[in-house]
Structure 1
Amino acid sequence: MQGSANPHGHSQLQTLLPRESLLWIFAAQLAVLLPHFAHLPLWLLGAWTVAVYWRLEVYRGRREIPGRLVKLLAVSLAVLGLVLTYRRWFALEPMVALLAVSFTLKNIELVSRRDALLSLMLAYFLAATLFVFEQTIPYALYGMLCVVLITAALAAQQGKGSARPGRALGLSAKLLAQAVPVMLLLFVVMPRLGPLWAVPQNSAKASTGISDSMSPGDFSELSKSDKPALRISFDGPLPPPEQRYWRGLVYTHFDGRRWSEPDLEQYYASWRRGRGRSQGVSGAAESEQTLPAVGPRYRYQVIQEASHSPWLFSLARPHSETEGVSATGDDTLVYRMPVASRLAYDVRSWPRESLARDEPLSAAEERRHLQLPGSGNPEARAWAQARLAEGMGAEQISTALLDLYHRNFTYTLRPPALGRDSVDEFLFSTRQGFCEHFASSYVFTMRAAGVPARVVAGYQGGEWVEQQEYLLVRQYDAHAWAEIWLPGRGWVRVDPTAAVAPERIRDGLQTAAAEEFMQDALLPLHKIALVTRLRLQWDMINYRWYQTVVSFDRERQEGLLTRLLGEVSPLRLALLLGLPVLLALAALLLWLHLSSRGPALPTVSRLYLRFCRRMARAGFARNPGEAPGDYARRIEREVPRLGPMARQITLAYERAAYGDSGSSAAAERQLRRLLRGFWPRRRARPTSVQSV
């Protein structure tokens, strides 16, 4: 194998790597890289494969270690690949990809133990980045497996025989097992510091969830997914099913087919720059001023799954003191960056009916919530104008429209396709739809009647998990409803779907659309009771994992330390840290003491010593240096009643200790059986027992 000259002399760290050490390094690298290819470009796997192949060819003597020109070319191609793959460099994926590239290119100059140690240190870092993307139990277990393999690869570099799988893995497991108590101790007592900087993830990554716009058919697609979206635990009363509206986005602009928020990007960018208010954005402090300090409210914690979007979900009139979370003027919450992994935030919400709203809607807000395209859907516009001509007010028009839904419409997950005038076709032709059809047509018609209205998107309902006391909201609970502005009352929620399928609000989608629910699933697992229970148990385990481990923040740490110590002080913390260290030292000293006593006796010898101790307690101790056969004959002479049993035990011991492997096992079983019933009477003067 070719190698570069050693400028530092013949150091042990510069010893050339044998084949077994190389294979261990490559196995550890592959284990670390595999889960990253869910979010990193596949060409990185190809680059790693080429680098490993080249290095193995060097070992076989078919190629040489690349020179500077080849290395420069490889680095240039890797950087070019990163530039073409990622448009934005200051994000998590390109940072991890850059680390993976460095990790990969190191293989083409993997010559000495020094290179091996550097490569394995990079592997530890890359394994740690797994938990930046996911903190689930499977990722945690896989991360532990990666650490075991990296440590085994590190142990395999220690010399002759160290690369044998059993020895390397055994040493790795032993080292990591010894580190577990220290890890648990540091997990409990080390200060929980927030990140010193925030690196955003690729927000363009595809994900299942509420989008920043809505058109007919979007929410019926979400009904095909049973992935968890939210887990909500309450500190106090649980809202009834008809009040469980988890609002996330408000759509105010309609282009004839799609509802959206046109200034959404400016909406969040303005908040992130800390400018205060733009298009209805209000900070947490302003939101708090308008909310009462006492009165009916809900307190709850939401654990939201990754959505790769900045909006959060809560009940109406929310206020959150969680860092990075802010309330908007549309009664929604936003986070300071796209939610790229599970996020927990605390919320307080006040029922709207408990809050008076006397101030009128501003002219700009009124125009915003009355916007309609210049043309299109003439029948819906005419229906609204006819109700106005009859002298109806806003609430009366709303009641008439809801009555129309109740009498003539069907709730279905498979609505027919709609053309350009989607509202007219739905209201006066097909009359079959999902929640977005009802919300969209309702808001359009109310605006046509001069009533400010808007579409709200989020989730409705959820499954109460009694064992862990939290509400599980899945993607198929996605829902759209409407809000209208009424003078003196402010924004009032109106759910047109409830007029057609009240069971959807009360009992959930599975009840409202039982025949159509999850029909497109490849395997109808939701219909198998055992599978449903197992999936719920797994979700409870994940919920407890997140509550106990992932979300173990400063507040939870202080609470745990207070329960353990009573009062958190430097002295008590020092004792908490020092006691385990002292116990570990005591255990080490005990182990050294026991090790110095020589190797443990064989099982057969320990069984025979048990016989000798029982005879000693009975007054017939064995003399120093006395052979087992001589001891048995002496017992037979001095105590004839014990002679036969002593002779049988001694013969069984000799056959077990000195016979062949076939007969020794049977003799050992016989010796155990004889000793089980041998309890000689105690004499007045017992003597000491000697060794075999």
Structure 2
Amino acid sequence: MESSERLPRESLLWIFAAQFAALLPQFAMLPLWIVGAWGFAVYWRLEVFRGRRDLPGRTVKLLAVVVAVGGLALSYRQWFALEPMVALLAVSFTLKNLELVSLRDAFLSLLLSYFVAATLFVFEQTIPYAVYGVICVLVITAALAAQTGSAGARPRRALGLSLRLLAQAVPLMVVLFIAMPRLGPLWAVPQNSDAASTGISDSMTPGDFSELSQSDEPALRMSFEGPVPPPEQRYWRGLVYSDFDGRRWSQGFGVDHREGGRVHWKESERPLPEVGPRYRYRVIQEATNSQWLFAMVRPDSPTEGVGETADGRLLKRKPVYSRFAYEVRSWPRETLGEPMPLGDFERRRNLQLPADGNPRTRAWAGEFRDSGLDAEEISARILQFYNRSFVYTLKPPALGEDSVDEFLFGSRQGFCEHFAGSYVFAMRAAGVPARVVAGYQGGEWVEQEQYLLVRQYDAHAWAEIWTPARGWQRVDPTAAVSPERIRDGLQSAAEEEFMGDSLLPLHRISVLNRLRLQWDMINYRWYRAVVSFDREQQESTLQRLLGEISPLRLAIFLLLPVAAVLLGVLAWIWWNGRGTRAPLSSRLYRKFCRRLARAGLERHPGEAPRDFACRVGEQRPELAPMAERITAAFEKAAYAGDPAAEKQLRRLLRRWSVVRGRQ
């Protein structure tokens, strides 16, 4: 390949800067060997430019491809997922750097950079990621502009051109964002379901919820259309645990949708009550990497891809890999009239207990059953027992094999999962169908934006029991021990222990707490206005702008900004002269020619600068030295692209003006 076709140093540096900007957020998720291999490939290519090494041959390239594919196969168990696809793009960067020689190679590498920058928004759609994504596009476009030549590779010029191009694209981007039809994805690439996530698990053991109490990350945001439920009714159901193995509560067969639990995905399959819903609200749920959603009791959601289970919960057809918004209508159970009878299988499932273990609790609950008390009376006795001598704490002692016995008749210190689990065990031992429900309880009302903010530390577990007269009804044993937990939240109920393991207890610093809440409000507005801009919001916005949505008005709405941009470009061209603006060296030389014309030495059309300088020397010998120097500086600046010659040309013109002024 000819040396003139090879990439100059500035072009290489811009390409590597664009790759680094696109890959930087991915470094924490990529395997370390990919990060190291990319850095080594960049180092090798720079060494090739310096002449210290040669480009690798075909055999070495083939070996590098085989090693890279093997590394991907060992690093990722699932190939068709988002993380290995991003890793494949990073490997493409690495391998392409080994043969980054021509301008075509540069364009291909930068095109890959745009794709990698776009993958950022699959993982996160927050404001910081959006700002960083814009910076990435700015750097990549500047790197693209830098490939046009040495003058275009200067940072100020390349970034300036990139900024102007992006600014010109903003009006069209806004119009397309508002007017383009909201289509579903043509395909879906799953994310890594094994990725770490904070939230409620599909099983519960003692200590799980107390761990969540140490996290103040947002979990849910809810805005209401109409009345807002009072604090004592803010129970957001997500999971039902019906199976107990002596220590761990889980959903079990027939409840878990993965083990035979029925889900009504179509709205026509979900018979709705004749009375209207009491609450209508919109939930914005953070990523959980799980399918369960959270809502009040007896929910129904018209959102596409959301179904309802037989026990009154909501599920998403695919896991919630990123922030997800859905509409909900809820009917409190007391508004629904006569309950459906409990089937034999459902009764057996909600009376299930291990064959042995926790003998004291079994005997204690058996006394209630043998005394002839009904379900509500048994429940009242157990709640009175909790109320007399139990302590609500975020740091309960560890429990042994007979965990229920040790808690009820030993430690008597626990968190919500201890109270809910032991209560359901005792009710089942007394012959009353019962189950554990997990979700969130409470939330912080944000007055400025009118929404309820539920954090991870609001995670809660409670119970439901079945009676013939009322069907399934909620019972919260925690309320019998610590009613302020339900009324005022965890921070009020356990003020001394709340977030006690945090290095910096931000919740105790009022200024930082207010700033944190303000930041959450900004994120809430961002998600509602941008990220969750769905078809319904689009139609509402277009109706406000156009009055009536019709093809003609939509066409006018789309074409007007384009016409405005074109008129602006034409006006700019007219203002700055026809065609593209001449380089600075040509403008300075024309200035020199105009001065000579005023002195009676006009340059002829088509006359070369060197010929003109010779004619000036013949007609005006006293101007010959300066004309020669100015012409030489112009030729170096215009034809050789020498920045120093351009500065020299400017200085000579200033000095020549001074000399002529003295004459």
Q: What do residues 363-403 of structure 1 show as CA deviations (whole Å, max 9, x unaligned)? A: 11111111111111111001101112222111111000000
Q: How does 1:317-332 map to 2 (within 5 A)?
A: 317-332=298-313
Count of matched residue positions in the alignment of Structure 1 and Structure 2:
581
Residues 321-354 of structure 1, C-alpha deviation per residue, up to 9 Å, x if partnerless? 1111111012111111211100001111100111
Counterpart of 1:162 in structure 2 is 152
Deviations 1:266-293 (A, max 9, x none): 94447xxxxxxx334334436631x224
Q: Residue 109 of structure 1 aligns to a residue in which SS? A: coil
Aligned pairs for 1:190-269 (under 5 A) are 190-263=180-253, 267-269=256-258
Structure 2 contact 277–329 (Cα < 8 Å) conserved: no
1:589 and 2:570 are equivalent in the alignment: yes
Which 10-residue stretch deviates more, 376-385 or 296-305? 296-305
- Match 1:84 to one of 70, 74, 89: 74
Report which stretch shifted further, 579-588 or 335-344.
579-588
Q: Given that residues 378 and 427 in structure 2 are in contact (C-alpha distance below 8 angstroms), is that contact kept between their aligned partners in structure 1?
A: yes
**Alignment partner, residue 573 of structure 1:** 554
Q: Could you tell me which residue of structure 1 aligns to residue 270 of structure 2?
A: 288
What is the identity, as a one-letter code, of the residue corresponding to 1:520?
D
How has the CA–CA distance of structure 1 residues 496 and 267 changed in structure 2, closer, same or farther, with 3 Å as cutoff? closer
- Partner in structure 2 of residue 417 of structure 1: 398
Q: Distance in 2 between matches of 1:24 and 1:436?
A: 56
- Aligned partners of 2:156, 2:265: CA distance in 1, in Å? 59
In the alignment, structure 2 segments of 5+ residues that lack a partner are: 583-653, 655-663
Distance of 2:300 and 2:569 partners within structure 1:
54
**CA distance 1:280–1:573, shift in 2 (3 Å):** closer
- Give, as a single letter, the amino acid of the residue that structure 1 aligns with 2:212: L
Q: Within the alignment, does 1:65 sit opposite 2:46 as a pair?
A: no
Q: How far does the alpha carbon of each residue in 1:448-495 deviate from its partner, in whole angstroms, 9 at most, with x for none?
A: 011111100000000001111110000000000000111132111000
Equivalent position of 1:670 in the other structure = none
Q: Measure, in 2, the Cα distance between the counterparts of 1:122 and 1:468.
A: 40
TM-score, L = length of structure 1: 0.82
Partner amino acid, structure 2, of 1:517: F
Rounded to whole Å, the distance in 2 between the matches of 1:424 and 1:525 is 38
Identify the residue that residue 108 of structure 1 maps to in structure 2: 98
Report which stretch shifted further, 309-318 or 63-72: 63-72
1:372 aligned onto 2:353: yes
Q: Which position in structure 1 is the counterpart of 2:594?
A: none
Q: Which residue of 2 aligns with 1:392?
A: 373
Do 1:284 and 1:320's aligned partners in 2 also have CA atoms closer than 8 Å? no
Is structure 2 residue 434 aligned with structure 1 residue 453?
yes
Secondary structure (helix, strand or coil) at the match of 2:152 reads coil
Q: Distance in 1 between matches of 2:269 and 2:223?
A: 23
* Amino acid in the other structure paired with 1:37: F
Moved more, 391-400 or 63-72: 63-72
Amino acid corresponding to residue 288 of structure 1 in structure 2: R
Q: Distance in 1 between matches of 2:257 and 2:54?
A: 55
- Aligned residue runs from structure 1 range 540-619, under 5 A: 540-596=521-577
Greater displacement, 420-429 / 47-56 = 47-56
Mapping 1:499-510, distance limit 5 Å = 499-510=480-491
How far, CA to CA, are the matches of 1:77 and 1:403 in structure 2?
A: 67
Q: Which residue in the other structure is 1:93 paired with?
A: 83
Partners of 2:265 and 2:305 within 8 A in 1: no
Q: Using the alignment, how far apart are the partners of 1:64 and 1:569 within structure 2?
A: 63
Q: Which moved more, 1:254-263 or 1:457-466?
A: 254-263
SS in 2 for 1:70: helix
- Could you tell which deviates more after superposition, 279-288 or 229-238? 279-288
Pick which of 128-137 and 551-560 moved more.
551-560
- SS state of the match for residue 480, structure 1? strand
Give the direction of change, closer, same or farther, for the CA distance of 1:555–1:45 in structure 2 (3 Å limit): same
Counterpart of 1:516 (choices 489, 497, 506) is 497
Partner of 1:537: 518
Compared CA separation, residues 376 and 267, structure 1 to 2 (3 A): closer
Q: Output the amino acid matched with 1:300.
A: Y
Distance 1:543 1:216, change over 3 A: same
- Cα distance in 2, alignment partners of residues 267 and 220 from structure 1: 24
1:149 counterpart = 2:139: yes
Q: Which amino acid aligns with 1:452?
A: P
> Matched residues in 1 for 2:365 and 2:258: separation?
37
Which of 322, 329, 351 aligns to 2:332? It is 351
1:427–1:441 contact (8 Å) kept in structure 2:
yes
TM-fit CA distance, 1:37: 2.4
The 2-side partners of 1:191 and 1:375 are apart by: 60
Task: Name the amino acid aligned to 1:188.
Answer: I
Contact 2:267 2:302 in 1 (8 A): no
CA shift, 1:60, in A, is 1.5
What CA distance in whole angstroms lies between the structure 2 residues aligned with 1:132 and 1:579?
32
Matches of 2:372 and 2:552, distance apart in 1: 78
Between the aligned partners of 2:73 and 2:338, the Cα distance in structure 1 is 53
Counterparts of 1:161 and 1:371, CA distance in 2:
78
3-state SS in 2 of match to 1:312: coil
Q: CA deviation at 1:295?
A: 2.9
Q: Which ranges in structure 1 are unaligned for 5 or more consecutive residues?
A: 271-277, 600-659, 661-692
Query: Do structure 1's residue 482 and structure 2's residue 463 form an aligned pair?
Result: yes
Q: Which runs of 4+ in 1 moved over 6 A?
A: none
Calculate the aligned-residue CA RMSD, in Å.
1.8
Measured after TM superposition, the shift of residue 570 of structure 1 is 1.3
Judge conservation of contact 2:386–2:477 (CA < 8 Å) in 1: yes
**Residue 437 (structure 1) aligned with residue 427 (structure 2):** no
1:91 is displaced (CA, Å) by 1.5
Percentage identity across aligned positions? 70
Letter in 1 for 2:157: R
Counterpart-to-counterpart distance in 2, 1:197 and 1:444 = 46
Partner of 1:471: 452
Q: Counterpart in 2 of 1:646?
A: none
**2:318 equivalent to 1:337:** yes
